[in-house]
């Protein structure tokens, strides 16, 4: 087999998810800084699904707790990333820039400022932008894994479900990519009853990466995609640049997959140090006062706020990490007061 497959899903009892949710709610509900707690989505496929928990804090309350660092390795298989954290004001504002709608309130303080869930007010332009960001991030992630010759299967099965929603936002109701996404969602739903072997997974992934790029090329021609700056890092070794075609260049050493069996998860850290990627994306620099610019301003504000008050909590907003680009946008442009 040409590639190696890692993160093979292992079944996790649904009750273990619920127990961890209960512990999170129990711990944070005792904190006077907390206004409310929400869960996004459901646990449809235990062992593949993860938890998306948002803790809403009162405005300007600093909480330095790193919750994920305090849990066991087994529990980290359930909470695969950190908790999301935001302030009451930023959470209310996020409804203008979020496509999430399936919030489940787990806790509300007696003096909560969020008696009712704020209504979604997202623009059509930002719906398209968010969908394109997710599709682009998926392609970049798989290209990097292909270059390293090791694919992370659970991550793929976990994230592929959102891809169907992104295609819906773009009005895509058919075609090869649509069919392949639904095919892998079917696999996800029956994984613990009938899974695929490694060879079939690798063949499917090679085809999917090619099809995803081809479809993305078409979407970039059909939809306007904006970036905060003409080049910016989304990871230490990954740069996005303006381009005419969706393509990439890699510099480094890739034929080291045999070390994965020795290094395990450290293999990816080694390969990221040894390789750099530049991705060229058909795009435009965001225009001041546009709805996309206002969203970028919100994301930048949220990043700065969390660095100051909630350093171990993720922000609400984008799947494509643009911290570097947002900072460059803010420092290189004349200040334009956003009219929120």
Q: How far is CA 101 from CA 55, 95, 133, 288, in A?
A: 16, 9, 18, 28
> What is the pLDDT, as a whole number, of residue 334?
45
All structural domains of the chain with their residue ranges: 14-122+294-317
Distances 43 to 15, 47, 79, 243 between C-alpha atoms, Å: 10, 9, 12, 39
Q: Helices 291-309 and 124-148 sit at what angle, rounded to 10 degrees?
A: 60
Q: Are 40 and 74 in contact (CB under 8 A)?
A: no
* Cα distance between residue 290 and residue 287, in whole Å: 6
Identify the architecture of domain 14-122+294-317 in CATH: 2-Layer Sandwich (3.30)
CA torsion 30-33-38-40 (nearest 10°) is -120
Mean pLDDT, consecutive 10-residue segments, the chain of 340 residues? 88 97 97 96 94 96 96 96 96 88 90 76 92 96 94 94 93 96 96 93 96 97 94 93 95 78 82 94 93 93 96 89 81 47
Confidence at residue 256, expressed as pLDDT on a 0 to 100 scale = 75
**Beta carbons within 10 angstroms of residue 215's beta carbon:** 20
What is the per-residue pLDDT for 327? 79
Of 243, 63, 260, the closest CA to residue 152 belongs to: 260
The secondary structure of 273-300 as a DSSP string is HHEEEEEEEE-EEPPTTSHHHHHHHHHH
SS3 43: coil
């Amino acid at each position: 087999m040409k590639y190696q497959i890692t993160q093979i899903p292992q079944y996790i009892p649904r009750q273990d998810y619920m127990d961890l949710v209960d512990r999170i709610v129990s711990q944070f509900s005792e904190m006077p800084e907390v206004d409310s707690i929400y869960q996004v989505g459901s646990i449809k496929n235990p062992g593949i699904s993860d938890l998306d928990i948002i803790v809403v804090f009162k405005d300007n309350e600093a909480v330095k707790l790193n919750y994920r660092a305090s849990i066991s390795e087994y529990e980290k298989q359930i909470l695969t990333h950190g908790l999301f954290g935001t302030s009451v004001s930023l959470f209310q504002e996020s409804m203008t820039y979020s496509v999430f709608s399936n919030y489940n309130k787990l806790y509300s303080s007696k003096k909560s400022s969020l008696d009712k869930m704020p209504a979604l007010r997202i623009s059509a332009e930002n719906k398209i932008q968010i969908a394109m960001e997710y599709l682009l991030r998926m392609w970049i992630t798989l290209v990097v894994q292909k270059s390293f010759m090791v694919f992370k299967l659970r991550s793929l099965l976990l994230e592929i479900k959102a891809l169907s929603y992104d295609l819906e936002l773009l009005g895509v109701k058919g075609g090869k990519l649509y069919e392949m996404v639904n095919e892998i969602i079917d696999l996800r739903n029956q994984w613990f009853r009938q899974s695929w072997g490694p060879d079939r997974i690798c063949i499917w992934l090679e085809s999917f990466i090619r099809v995803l790029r081809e479809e993305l090329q078409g979407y970039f021609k059909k939809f306007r995609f904006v970036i905060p700056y003409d080049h910016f890092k989304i990871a230490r070794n990954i740069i996005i640049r303006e381009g005419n075609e969706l393509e990439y260049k890699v510099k480094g050493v890739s034929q080291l997959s045999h070390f994965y069996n020795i290094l395990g998860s450290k293999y990816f850290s080694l390969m990221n140090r040894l390789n750099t990627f530049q991705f060229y994306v058909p795009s435009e620099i965001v225009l001041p006062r546009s709805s996309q610019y206002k969203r970028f301003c919100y994301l930048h504000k949220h990043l700065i706020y969390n660095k100051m008050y909630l350093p171990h909590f993720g922000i609400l907003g984008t799947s494509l990490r643009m911290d570097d680009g947002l900072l460059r946008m803010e420092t290189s442009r004349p200040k334009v007061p956003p009219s929120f």
